[in-house]
């Protein structure tokens, strides 16, 4: 199965640590990062898509926990 996640966080070290943790679990960057202003919170937010291929497993919507991989 191929898994997809979109990681987001405020624009500080939290975002970098979140992406780094995913990379160390075998996820791969997918596309370019995003950067946007959150007008309600008045902060900048970052986002990065990541993907991961898992052999021998089937994806089941609502049951496959993406964070477990």
pLDDT average per 10 residues of sequence, the chain (69 residues): 95 93 96 96 96 90 82
Domain spans, the chain: 2-61
Only one residue has tokens 């996820």, namely 27
Read off the tokens for 44.
């900048």
Angle at 20 between CA 34 and CA 64, to 5 degrees: 85
The pLDDT, as a whole number, for residue 58 is 86
> Residue 9, class by beta-carbon neighbours within 10 Å (0-12 exposed, 13-18 middle, 19+ buried)?
middle
5, 22 Cβ separation under 8 angstroms: yes
pTM of the predicted model as reported, rounded to 2 decimal places: 0.84
Distance CA 1, CA 51 (A): 10
The pLDDT, as a whole number, for residue 67 is 77
């Amino acid at each position: 199965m191929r898994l997809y996640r979109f990681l987001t966080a405020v624009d500080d070290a939290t975002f970098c640590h979140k992406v780094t943790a995913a990379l160390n679990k075998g996820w791969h960057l997918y596309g370019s990062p995003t950067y946007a202003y959150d007008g309600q919170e008045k902060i900048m937010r970052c986002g990065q898509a990541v993907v991961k291929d898992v052999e021998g497993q089937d994806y089941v919507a609502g049951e496959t926990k993406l964070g477990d991989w």
